[in-house]
């Protein structure tokens, strides 16, 4: 009989241990007694009693605020809600509890009055999902119609859309350093929207609290369990036309903001005609379109060219340009050039060139050149040159070159050689 009771108690103990270990961090039951203690210290106590880890952004939580608690046999979730309220949410990732601000609920209000004409209005506000702050210069656009608007300082936008038969419209909201959000809306109805954007998460300001932090002054963090949460990586591409001197001078602040926001969306069209950047047959999203034929009366600002482009004064392409480009003053290409490029003053290509460049003053290439360059004053290649250079004053190639000809001098940046007037020095 005694042996049976021992075995029974042993089995009950094993079952209880399995039940405890099966509990997730938020469902574990603990008791906490604190009086006017710092928030970070209280979190260390909870972490120690529940045997799990906390992770949170130190910019969002006031660690030095004082907390008083007297709870017995409560779940960790209930205790955290008592401390932080409903403005925060708690997510589990393995043995981690991640504390973050609760997102603002997206509200969509549709007016009951249906439009009888071919157009309808969509308006509303865009907010930061974590802080609730109105977002300035966020891009709101409909991809198929190439209609776009930017939010003002209150986060407000208003967009006029054309009715699409037999299908719904997709409204996308983008802003630099935020994740894109897409909302499906009904066509032919005036609508008011409230949309939130989630900022990219980084690990720079992340604080981690372990169960040992309550017992030791300087806990070792080398053996922390892995957390499955993978933060988004923010990439900053500096090789874009908006940051060049010509781009800063000729493009408006709204046009530059639009291009910086909408980095993932590009489309194609057979042709476009523009007077100046922003006034074109493709409206405010012309900078996101690659055209087969592009005609710019004074100047144009597009995503790229896959055919031919002519500008009275200038052409600015965000990405690649293929086959032919000519302008009265200058051309700016943010990607690669394949084909022929000609301008009265300057050609600027930020990446590689395969083909021929001619300019009245100078050509600048940020990558390699395979082909030929001709300029009245100066040619500059930031990488290697495989072809021919001709300039009235000077040619410059930073790395390996094949052959060049200059009126007064060429520079070839390599330790073994120095070009001086018309002779080699070795």
Q: Can you give the CATH number for the domain in which 49 is found?
A: 3.55.50.30
For residue 129, being part of any structural domain is answered with yes
Q: Does 1 fall in a domain? A: no
Residues 181 and 306 in one domain: no
Residue 334 belongs to a domain: yes
The reported pLDDT for the residue numbered 409 is 52
Residues 111 and 97 in one domain: no
CATH code of 140's domain: 2.60.40.4130
Residue 296 shares a structural domain with residue 155: no
So what's the pLDDT on residue 2? 62
Closest CA to 180 of 254, 288, 262, 104: 262
* Residue 10 three-state SS: helix
Whether 226 is covered by a domain: the verdict is yes
170 and 283 housed in the same domain: no
**Distance in angstroms (rounded) separating the CA atoms of residues 382 and 220:** 48
285, 191: one domain? no
Looking at the fold, whether 127 and 272 belong to one and the same domain comes out as no
Both 79 and 220 in a single domain? yes
Residue 423: the pLDDT is 32
Q: Confirm whether pTM is higher than 0.85.
A: no
Check whether residue 139 and residue 52 sit in a common domain: no
Same domain? For 255 and 391 the reply is yes
- Domain count for the chain, please give it: 3
d(CA 117, CA 20): 64
Asked whether 85 and 62 are in contact (CB, 8 A), the reply is no
125 within a domain of the structure (yes/no): yes
| Domain contains 6 | no
Q: Does residue 12 fall inside a structural domain?
A: no
Residue 7 in 3-state DSSP?
Answer: helix
Q: Smallest Cα–Cα separation from 284: which of 80, 108, 142, 405?
A: 142
* 347 & 258 share domain: yes
Question: What is the Cα–Cα distance from 134 to 176, expressed in whole angstroms?
Answer: 14
Domain stops at, among 197, 222, 250: 197
pLDDT score recorded for residue 422:
34
CA distances from 21 to 43, 46, 294 (A): 20, 16, 66
What tokens does 195 get?
A: 């949309």
Token code pair at residue 354:
């395969």
Each residue's pLDDT, cut to its tens digit, for the chain (426 residues) gives 566 556 655 655 555 555 444 578 999 999 999 888 999 899 999 999 888 998 887 777 888 888 898 999 999 999 999 998 887 888 888 889 988 877 655 555 555 456 667 888 999 999 988 778 999 999 999 998 899 999 999 999 999 998 877 677 889 999 998 888 888 887 878 888 988 888 876 655 677 777 776 654 444 444 455 544 444 444 445 448 888 888 889 899 999 999 889 988 999 999 999 999 989 999 889 999 999 999 999 999 999 999 999 999 999 999 999 999 999 999 999 999 999 999 999 999 999 999 999 999 999 999 999 999 999 999 999 999 999 999 999 999 998 776 655 554 555 554 333 333 333 222
Question: Whole domain around residue 283: which residue ranges?
Answer: 241-425
**Residue 266 falls inside a structural domain:** yes
Domain co-membership, 225 together with 142: no
Residue 22: CB partners within 8 Å, gap ≥ 6?
A: none
pLDDT of the residue at 239: 47
Indicate if 95 and 111 belong to the same structural domain: no
Per the document, the length of the chain is 426
């Amino acid at each position: 009989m005694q042996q049976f009771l021992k075995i029974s108690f042993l089995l009950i103990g094993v079952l209880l241990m399995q039940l405890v270990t099966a509990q997730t961090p938020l469902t574990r039951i603990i008791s906490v007694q604190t009086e006017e203690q710092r928030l970070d210290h209280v979190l260390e106590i909870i972490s120690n009693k529940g045997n799990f880890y906390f992770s949170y952004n130190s910019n969002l939580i006031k660690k030095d605020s004082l907390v008083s608690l007297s709870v017995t046999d409560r779940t960790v979730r209930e205790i955290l809600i008592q401390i932080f309220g409903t403005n925060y949410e708690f997510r589990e990732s393995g043995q981690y509890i991640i504390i973050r601000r609760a997102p603002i609920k997206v509200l969509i209000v549709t007016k009951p009055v249906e439009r009888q004409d071919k157009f309808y209005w969509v308006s509303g506000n865009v907010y930061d999902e974590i802080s609730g702050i109105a977002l300035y210069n966020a891009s709101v656009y409909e991809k198929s119609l190439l209609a776009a608007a930017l939010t003002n300082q209150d986060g407000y936008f208003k967009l006029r859309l054309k009715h699409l038969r037999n299908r719904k419209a997709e409204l996308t909201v983008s802003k630099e350093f935020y994740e894109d959000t897409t909302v499906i809306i009904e066509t032919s109805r005036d609508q008011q929207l409230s949309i939130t954007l989630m900022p990219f998460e980084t690990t720079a300001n992340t604080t981690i609290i372990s169960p040992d932090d309550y017992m030791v002054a300087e806990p070792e963090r080398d053996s922390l369990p892995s957390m499955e949460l993978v933060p988004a990586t923010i990439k900053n591409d500096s090789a874009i036309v908006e940051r060049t001197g010509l781009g800063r001078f000729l493009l408006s602040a709204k046009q530059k903001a639009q291009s910086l926001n909408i980095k993932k969306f590009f489309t194609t069209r057979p042709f476009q005609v523009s007077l100046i950047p922003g006034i074109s047959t493709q409206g405010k999203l012309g900078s996101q379109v690659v055209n087969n034929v592009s005609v710019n009366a004074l100047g144009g600002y597009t995503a790229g060219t896959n055919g031919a482009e002519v500008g009275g004064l200038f052409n600015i392409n965000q990405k690649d340009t293929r086959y032919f480009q000519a302008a009265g003053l200058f051309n700016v290409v943010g990607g690669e050039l394949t084909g022929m490029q000609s301008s009265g003053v300057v050609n600027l290509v930020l990446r590689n060139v395969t083909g021929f460049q001619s300019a009245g003053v100078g050509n600048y290439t940020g990558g390699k050149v395979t082909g030929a360059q001709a300029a009245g004053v100066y040619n500059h290649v930031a990488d290697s040159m495989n072809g021919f250079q001709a300039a009235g004053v000077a040619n410059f190639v930073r790395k390996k070159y094949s052959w060049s000809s200059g009126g007064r001098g060429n520079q070839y940046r390599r330790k073994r050689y120095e070009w001086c007037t018309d002779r080699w020095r070795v």
